[in-house]
């Protein structure tokens, strides 16, 4: 398709970016640490790391990985933690060694963690001890050689560090009992690294930066291979778009989405690092009153989130009393922004909630609305610089402006493929580099892109992908279940939640028993909120369960 969207680009945004500006994320990081040495880089729980200290600590952690853990360039290191100061220290230590970061959701069950560690071949895991009991359960089945555990307060100054760690463990009892012989503490790892030298490595565009796990188009989580070239491109694409609004070394961004999520990772952690921004890390955004209290302590100029996060803030007492005078950018992604939420956000903050679009497979940003948008427009915006969009039918033929089909994307941010899964890669990535997104949409005459529906049966819970195949596989393992089908149903808090339809094998089977099983085997956002027993499930003439019919029946029910 001709790039009709270029004429709609805001003034000063280039049609193309030059990703040769930087050889790698390592180069961006080291450049920012030199340029912004004395400025705050990350804050959390009342403590701040400036760029000089971030450089020093990440160098120590990198040296520990090289010399004590014995890792080499290209080895995989898993990080399993919420938003804490330890995250950027570990991440940039990994990237500076030319190693591959494997982000792990801290809420994973032992089964989910085991799959990701096995699949990625991670040699080291850095984990907050609140989740060490889960790792302990998974360890016998994986080949992880080095375990580094950290406590919530480990990078806070003394005596606050000791107090926070004591309260978390002894008062709030947030750390289940665990025992992993030979595990090293994060602080000990940094101390060992301080006595060693970080060996310089050459990292370029072709080297892998992340294995970022996603369901893709089917159930089992797969690692999207994101190279330094992919990530550098996406940082530069985002910077080119935001450039006119942001001043180097002066911006403060609220980072409430977890950094292990691709949206927060690229938009907050990496893009704002490139311009010397200050990331304020929110460890537990679900504590909305606590979150609002944190927001009251800082004059912030940017915030990213999913629709449910913005909606939650708007419904929390005190949010409307905050000082929004410095706020320039509110960016929504990960799931559709709802019109009512966008309107309320504008009313309360005076700033338009801008919607962007992307996927794990596009590192993630692919399109974004102009930042000077007066009001929410229901669109996912214009394709980013150096990015092509094409709307195609089921046989891959390009459709005309206004016609509805599958959104396909091509650009320097598109992943190399899925880790060790050429079969799955071939399903979504064409030989000439076009990614099939599985989203159905259209492009209007001005080049704005609109999502109409999702092609696949994926369920989107608070911006996280949930795949019915995985839910069904897990629930079918429970004795007494004959058949199951999982669908997404609308929910005012999280966009969608999982509803499970079950045909019993054992007549005494209860909803409570199934919910208990789901609690053991599935992360919170994947667990069915509703369970309904049926005598039979709708099927096609070849016996395939028709989830679509179940979804449509639920939709009709909600409309009445």
Query: pLDDT, tens digit, for every residue of 280-297?
Result: 999 999 899 999 999 999
Beta carbons within 10 angstroms of residue 201's beta carbon? 17
Q: Are residues 446 and 487 in the same domain?
A: no
Domain boundary among 409, 429, 454: 454
* Cβ partners under 8 Å of residue 76, min gap 6: 99, 100, 101, 102, 120, 121, 122, 123, 211
* Residue 11 CB partners (closer than 8 Å, separation 6+): 244
pLDDT of 465: 79
**What DSSP designation does 181 have?**
T
Q: 433 and 510, same structural domain?
A: no
Q: What is the pLDDT of residue 1?
A: 86
Q: At 142, which CATH number? A: 3.40.50.980
* pLDDT tens string 403-434: 989 999 999 999 999 999 999 999 999 999 99
Beta-sheet strands, E only, within 105-168: 124-128, 146-150
Query: What pLDDT is stored for residue 388 in this prediction?
Result: 98
Check pLDDT > 90 for residue 351.
yes
- Cα 15 to its chain centre, rounded Å, is 27
What string of DSSP letters covers 26-44? HHHHHHHHHHTTTSEEEEE
- Report the candidate in 222, 216, 223 with the shortest Cα–Cα distance to residue 467: 216
d(CA 39, CA 272): 13
Asked if residue 171 and residue 134 are part of one domain, the reply reads yes
**Counting Cβ atoms within 10 Å, is residue 1 exposed (0-12), middle (13-18) or buried (19+)?**
middle
Q: Categorize the per-residue pLDDT at 215 as very low, low, confident or very high, splitting at 50, 70 and 90.
A: low
What is the C-alpha separation between 12 and 428, in angstroms, rounded?
Answer: 33
The upper half-sphere exposure of residue 251, i.e. CA atoms within 13 Å in the direction of its Cβ, equals 27
Same domain, 435 and 553: no
The CATH number covering residue 436 comes to 2.30.38.10
The answer to whether residue 16 is domain-embedded is no
Total domains, the chain: 3
Residue 244 lies in a domain: no
Q: Looking at the structure, do residues 415 and 540 belong to the same domain, yes or no?
A: no
Check pLDDT > 50 for residue 218.
no
Contact (CB, 8 A) for 224 and 372:
no
**What residues are paired with 530 via a beta bridge?**
499
The whole-number pLDDT of residue 366 equals 98
Integer Cα distance of 177 and 166 in angstroms = 14
Reference 472, options 399, 559, 547; nearest CA is: 547
Tokens representing residue 34 in the block = 């030199």
Q: Can you give the CATH number for the domain in which 501 is found? A: 3.30.300.30
pLDDT at 467: 81
Peptide bond connecting 90 to the previous residue in cis, omega within 30 degrees of 0: no
Distances (CA, A) of 323 to 296, 300, 373, 375, 545: 7, 9, 22, 21, 52
Three-state DSSP at 22 gives: coil
Contact 258, 83 (CB under 8 A): yes
> 255 lies in a domain?
no
128: CB partners within 8 A, 6+ apart: 80, 81, 82, 84, 86, 106, 149, 150, 151, 152
User: Does residue 300 lie in a domain region?
Assistant: no
**429 and 492 part of one domain:** no
- Going by C-alpha positions, the residue among 338, 281, 275, 273 that lies closest to residue 304 is 281
If asked whether residues 498 and 548 sit together in one domain, one would say yes
Question: Taking a C-beta distance cutoff of 8 angstroms, is the pair 315, 289 a contact?
Answer: no
Residues 463 and 450 in one domain: no
For the cut 70, the answer to whether the pLDDT of residue 32 exceeds it is yes
136 within some domain: yes
Convert the pLDDT of each residue in 300-336 to its tens digit.
999 999 888 898 899 899 999 999 999 999 999 887 7
Tens of pLDDT, residue by residue over 463-512, are: 887 888 789 889 988 999 988 999 999 998 899 999 999 999 999 999 99
CB contact at 8 A, 410 and 377: no
Which structural domain range is residue 76 located in?
50-203
Shared-domain flag, residues 554 and 411:
no
172-195 residue pLDDT tens: 999 999 999 999 999 999 999 999
Kindly state the percentage of the chain with pLDDT values over 90. 86
Name the nearest CA neighbour of 459 among 499, 427, 428, 515. 499
In whole angstroms, what is the distance from residue 534 CA to residue 403 CA? 38
Per-residue pLDDT tens over the stretch 58-111 = 999 999 999 999 999 999 999 999 999 999 999 999 999 999 999 999 989 999
- pLDDT band per the 50, 70, 90 thresholds, residue 337: confident
Task: Read off the pLDDT band of 217 (50, 70, 90).
Answer: very low
pLDDT for res 216: 47
pLDDT in tens, 352-364: 999 999 999 999 9
Does some domain include residue 410? yes
Beta-carbon-side half-sphere exposure of residue 363 (alpha carbons within 13 Å): 31
User: Is 345 among the domain residues?
Assistant: no
**Overall average pLDDT of the 18-39 stretch:** 98
The arithmetic mean of pLDDT across residues 216-226, rounded, is: 77
pLDDT digits (tens, 9 = 90+) for 373-382: 999 898 999 9
pLDDT (tens digit per residue) in 448-458: 999 876 666 78
- Select from 187, 203, 219 the last residue of a domain: 203
Using a pLDDT cut of 70, give the percent of the chain over it. Answer: 98
Tell me the per-residue pLDDT of 157-170, one tens digit each, with 9 for 90 and over: 999 999 999 999 99
Residue 165 lies inside a defined structural domain of this protein: yes
What mean pLDDT value characterizes the chain? 94
* Cα–Cα distance, 464 to 74 (Å, whole number): 28
3-class secondary structure for 417-470? EECCCHHHHHHHECCCCCEEEEEEEEECCCCCEEEEEECCCCEEECCEEECHHH
Say whether both 421 and 507 belong to one domain: no
Residues 6+ apart with CB under 8 A from 496: 459, 460, 461, 488, 489, 490
Look at residues 159, 180, 203 and tell me which one is the last residue of a structural domain.
203
Q: State the Cα–Cα distance between residues 382 and 202, nearest whole angstrom.
A: 35
Token pair of 549, please? Answer: 């019919």
* Closest C-alpha among 260, 207, 203 to residue 29: 203
pLDDT for the residue 219: 58
Mean pLDDT in residue range 121-145 = 98
Domain identity same for 178 and 108: yes
At 336 the pLDDT is 75
Residues 483, 433, single domain; the answer is no
Tally of CB atoms within 10 A around 346: 16
């Amino acid at each position: 398709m001709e790039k009709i969207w270029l004429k709609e680009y805001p003034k000063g945004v280039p049609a193309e970016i030059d990703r040769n500006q930087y050889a790698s994320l390592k180069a961006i990081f080291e450049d920012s640490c030199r340029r912004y040495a004395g400025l705050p880089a990350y804050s959390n729980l009342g403590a701040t790391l400036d760029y000089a200290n971030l450089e020093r600590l990440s160098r120590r952690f990198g040296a520990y990985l090289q010399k004590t853990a014995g890792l080499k360039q290209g080895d995989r290191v898993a990080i399993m933690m919420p938003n804490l100061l330890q995250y950027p220290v570990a991440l940039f230590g990994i990237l500076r060694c030319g190693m591959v970061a494997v982000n792990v959701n801290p809420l994973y069950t032992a089964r989910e963690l085991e799959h990701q560690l096995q699949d990625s071949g991670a040699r080291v895991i850095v984990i907050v001890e609140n989740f060490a009991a889960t790792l302990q359960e998974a360890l016998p089945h994986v080949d992880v050689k080095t375990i580094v555990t950290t406590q919530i307060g480990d990078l806070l100054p003394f005596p606050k560090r000791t107090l926070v760690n004591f309260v978390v463990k002894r008062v709030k009892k947030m750390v289940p009992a665990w025992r992993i012989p030979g595990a090293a503490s994060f602080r000990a790892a940094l101390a060992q690294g301080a006595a060693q030298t970080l060996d310089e490595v050459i990292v370029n565009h072709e080297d892998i930066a992340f294995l970022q796990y996603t369901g893709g188009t089917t159930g089992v989580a797969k690692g999207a291979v994101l190279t330094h070239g992919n990530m550098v491109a996406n940082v530069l694409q985002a910077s080119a778009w935001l450039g006119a609004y942001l001043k180097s070394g002066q911006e403060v961004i609220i980072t409430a989405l977890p950094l292990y999520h691709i949206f927060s990772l690229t938009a907050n952690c990496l893009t704002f690092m490139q311009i010397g921004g200050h990331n304020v890390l929110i460890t537990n955004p679900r504590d909305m009153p606590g979150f609002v209290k944190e927001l009251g302590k800082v004059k912030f100029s940017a915030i990213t989130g999913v629709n449910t996060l913005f909606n939650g803030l708007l419904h929390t007492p005190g949010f409307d009393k905050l000082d929004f005078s410095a706020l320039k950018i509110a960016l929504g992604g990960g799931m559709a922004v709802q019109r009512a939420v966008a309107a309320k956000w504008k009313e309360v903050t005076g700033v338009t909630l801008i919607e962007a679009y992307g996927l794990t497979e596009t590192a993630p940003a692919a399109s974004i609305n102009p930042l000077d948008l007066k009001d929410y427009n229901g669109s996912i915006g214009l394709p980013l610089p150096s990015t092509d969009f094409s709307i195609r039918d089921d046989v891959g033929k390009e459709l005309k402006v206004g016609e509805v089909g599958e959104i396909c994307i091509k650009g320097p941010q598109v992943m190399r493929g899925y880790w060790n899964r050429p079969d799955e890669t071939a399903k979504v990535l064409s030989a000439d580099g076009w990614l099939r997104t599985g989203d159905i949409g259209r492009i209007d005459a001005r080049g704005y892109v609109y999502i109409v529906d999702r092609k696949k049966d994926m369920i989107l819970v608070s911006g996280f992908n949930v795949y019915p195949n995985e839910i069904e596989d897990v629930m079918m393992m429970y004795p007494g279940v004959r058949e199951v089908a999982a669908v997404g149903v609308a929910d005012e808090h999280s966009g969608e939640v999982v509803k499970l339809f079950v045909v019993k094998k054992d007549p005494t089977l209860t909803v409570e028993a199934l919910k208990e099983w789901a609690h053991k085997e599935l992360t919170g956002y994947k667990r069915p909120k509703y369970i309904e027993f049926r005598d039979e499930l709708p099927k096609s003439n070849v016996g395939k369960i028709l989830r679509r019919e179940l979804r449509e029946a639920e939709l009709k029910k909600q409309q009445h």
